[in-house]
Amino acid sequence: MEFRTLEGTGLKVSVVGFGGWAIGGGYNINGNPIGYGKTDDFESLAAIEKAIDIGINLIDTADAYGGGHSECLIGQVLQARHSNCFVATKVGNQRRDPFPARKNLDYDYMVMACESSLRRLRRKVIDLYQLHNPSMAVIKSNSVWETLVDEMLKAEANYLPKF
């Protein structure tokens, strides 16, 4: 496996990462099917295991993938293997069943979402905490960055995205 240094971190990550959207399975937002449809958790767990076995150490997911199911599966494997994988997850798509989903990068929501991701991933810290498809207005605002810095200072995120 080839590795590169992740800019701003000094960490070596595999050039091929494991993307967790598909293993989240199918779910609905605002009555519309989202994701890859029905998945088999046994096969998903085996895919994560195989990725680690062949040297992949970069795992990307989001709290929205399968409504958090992707994070749960990744957490299950990483806890069992005591793996040194670098985990990147995202925040910003709030599901509010039965209400319409919405973008949410408010302070209280982001703190709650970070804590929920930590629980699902079975980790003490998130290696890279990213904003999921933020608008330019959000990127330019200070409030979202203050929240991310607060989470990093609480040691719940090791690295934040750079724009």
The set of catalytic residues is 65
Q: How far is CA 55 from CA 1, 74, 119, 145, 159, in A?
A: 6, 16, 25, 33, 22
Spatial separation of the C-alpha atoms in residues 41 and 45, rounded to whole Å: 6
Q: Are the C-beta atoms of 126 and 117 separated by less than 8 Å?
A: yes
Cis preceding linkage at 33, omega within 30: no
Element (H, E) at 93: strand 93-96
Cα angle 129, 76, 158 (rounded to 5 degrees) comes to 25
